Amino acid sequence: MIFVPEKNLNAECYLLLIWFCRVTILVGWKMDFVTEEEKTEDYLFKIVLVGDSAVGKSNLLARFARDEFYPNSKSTIGVEFQTQKVHIDGKEIKAQIWDTAGQERFRAVTSAYYRGAVGALLVYDISRRQTFDSIGRWLNELQTHSDMNVVTILVGNKSDLRDAREVSIAEGKSLAEAQGLFFMETSALDSSNVAAAFQTVVKEIYNILSKKVMMSHEVNKPDSSSFDGKTVVLPSEDNPQPDAAEAKAGSGCC
């Protein structure tokens, strides 16, 4: 079938339609063609990247998933995702990382993709204070649209831009402590702390899950292997956010 847009369909709606078709086809293809290797993971964690446009979310994902960096990357349209395997305590965990658009006009579309997330990287640009000031709004949106408490790390990106810094490490750490979040500064440009930020979230999700499995085993004596290979959903009750992590004072981010 060939879609011919009506003359009165504006460019923004047309872009959204193209994006929706693209994601629908991609997700459908991924569901139909799952390899034997992909079936071997013990857990699947959905993690979202949120924050203003141009704070470096896509480059953080590119650096973590493919060890790549795009100095002239364009703003994400809608939502895109990639997967990366992480090994913890002998378990293979597949992190399904969703990169959400930061532009205001896409927020209604991307909000649906918070559902099912068990981890989040809340990203701002240390060289643009307005992106830090927006963190409260993004955190509220995450908490409003997610199904449960989400393990969240506050990420001050582009830490390599030391001379252009507008947000201090102390400010970032203070906000994280006030909200009960982990905190770290990163640089997708030089890869500083990028892997550590993602791994911090994945490991904390795994730790919470492991504790719940142990508690369930003590009460009901279930076979803990029944959790293997399942998408993880963390219930909201009895699942407080972890204490804020120490800030990493090193080269930074993009």
| Number of domains observed in the structure of the chain | 2
Whether 241 maps to a domain, the answer reads no
Of the pLDDT bands very low, low, confident and very high (cuts 50, 70, 90), residue 99 is: confident
- Same domain, yes or no: 87 and 4: no
pLDDT of res. 247: 41
Whether 243 maps to a domain, the answer reads no
Q: Is the pLDDT of residue 64 over 90?
A: yes
pLDDT tens digits, residue range 190-223?
999 999 999 999 999 999 998 888 777 666 655 5
Give the three-state DSSP class for 47: strand
**CB contact at 8 A, 195 and 233:** no
Q: Which domain holds residue 121?
A: 40-231
- Same domain, yes or no: 28 and 48: no
Burial class (CB in 10 A: 0-12, 13-18, 19+), 218: exposed
The amino acid at residue 140 is: N
Determine how β-strand 91-100 pairs with β-strand 79-88: antiparallel
CATH number reported for the structural domain that contains residue 106 in this entry: 3.40.50.300
Q: Is the pLDDT of residue 249 over 90?
A: no
**Per this entry, what is the length of the chain?**
254
- Name the residue with tokens 């896509």: 58
- Same domain, yes or no: 47 and 108: yes
**CB contact at 8 A, 17 and 149:** no
pLDDT of res. 245: 46
pLDDT of res. 223: 53
Whether 148 maps to a domain, the answer reads yes
